[in-house]
Amino acid sequence: MGNLMTVGLLMTCVACYVCQGLFGKLYAIHFDGQSSDATPVYSTLYGLIVGLGVLAVALGFRLNASPITWTLGLINGVVLFVYNLCIINSSRTGPFGFQSIFRLFGSVVIPMVFALVFWGESLSVLRWLGIAVMLLSFVLINADGMVLSDVKKGYMGWVTLLFFVNGAYAVIMAAQQRLAGSAERNAMIVITFLCSACISLISLLLRRRGDTLRAFRMSPKAWGSAMGAGVSAALAVVQLMILIGRVDSLPVFYTIENGMVLVLTIVFSAILFKEKISRMTVFGIVVSVISLAMLSL
């Protein structure tokens, strides 16, 4: 993965994404409004906190971006909104475990295809094996949630779309730096997340109409959790964009990052929320650690 600074950035980036996931879980627990409002409200607040936070702290409220950054940022804002839509609808129509496999595979496979086919990257045999082992660990970790007996109409369509949009988000973030350079990476974050927040808010306005503000009347714990998730995500995505410009292999980076976030989220969920971990999940975690070792060589 490179020098100590790159490794340090990766560790803190992963830690921030794990915190985002844990705060998101706390938000789901403490949200006391209509269940149909939980995700669009979260997506709106999350996008605004990340977008405005990076705009204020990193850019000093000065947004200067080239046409390519504006174009890719707006496209990725739509992609991020569709990602959230896929998460909502696939969660309502089928098992979470199968959804997670499609989501995680997309975040690794799609960037890998682009990096190898269009960007001229190559992988050693050991790294190919490491990525394959990590993909296997994703299946093992989520195996308990793969029962498809109660799947509703449209589920396979939503998880398939989720596979592509999650990969597309990663590819577009990387493509922006290749086309516009690293100087505009923070502008890319701002445009992407504010665009997604605006679309989420518009969708909420269309559904709730004159009663939209009521959807944001939440308990202090829900507000605090949403704020924590947003701040964690802002810190994570800033570091992510720095790392994209530093790593020597995009496929390996996304494989390691997703694997570490998944494993640590499971471990901390077990500690903080007393969630039970099955033997298959433990086996999957062990396989994931083996993959991380292979990819680090």
Q: Say if residue 127 is exposed, middle or buried (CB neighbours under 10 Å; 0-12, 13-18, 19+).
A: middle
Name the residue type at position 195: C
Comparing C-alpha atoms, which of 233, 157, 247 is closest to residue 197?
233
The verdict on residue 290 lying in a domain is no
Q: Which residue has the tokens 């490179």?
A: 2
Q: Which of 223, 224, 293, 221 is nearest to 256 (CA)?
A: 293
CB atoms within 10 A of CB 180: 21
Residue 291 domain-assigned? no
Q: What is the tally of structural domains in the chain?
A: 1
- Asked whether residue 133 is domain-assigned, the answer is no
Position 292 in a domain? no
- Is-contact 212 205, C-beta < 8 A? yes
Q: Within 13 Å, how many C-alpha atoms sit on residue 36's CB side?
A: 6
Phi, psi of 273 (to 5 degrees): -110, 5
Cβ(249)–Cβ(197) below 8 Å: no
DSSP labels, 230-296 = HHHHHHHHHHHHHHHTT-S-HHHHHHHHHHHHHHHHHHHHHHHH-----HHHHHHHHHHHHHHHHHH
Q: What confidence score (pLDDT) does residue 146 get?
A: 66
pLDDT value, residue 197: 97
Both tokens assigned to 34: 């209509």
- Asked if residue 87 belongs to a domain, the reply is yes
Asked whether the beta carbons of 179 and 72 are under 8 A apart, the reply is yes
**Per the domain annotation, does 284 fall within a domain?**
no
Residue type, 287: V
Q: Return the closest-CA partner of residue 116 out of 100, 102, 131, 137.
A: 131
**Three-state secondary-structure class, residue 89:** helix
Question: Nearest to residue 131, comparing CAs of 244, 249, 278, 281?
Answer: 249
Q: Which domain holds residue 111?
A: 4-123+148-245
Q: Is residue 271 part of a domain?
A: no
In a domain, 206, yes or no: yes
**How confident is the model at residue 1, as a pLDDT?**
47
Local mean pLDDT, 10-residue blocks, the chain (297 residues): 81 95 91 88 95 96 96 98 90 83 94 94 95 95 76 90 96 95 94 97 89 92 95 96 92 95 92 88 95 90
d(CA 28, CA 26): 5
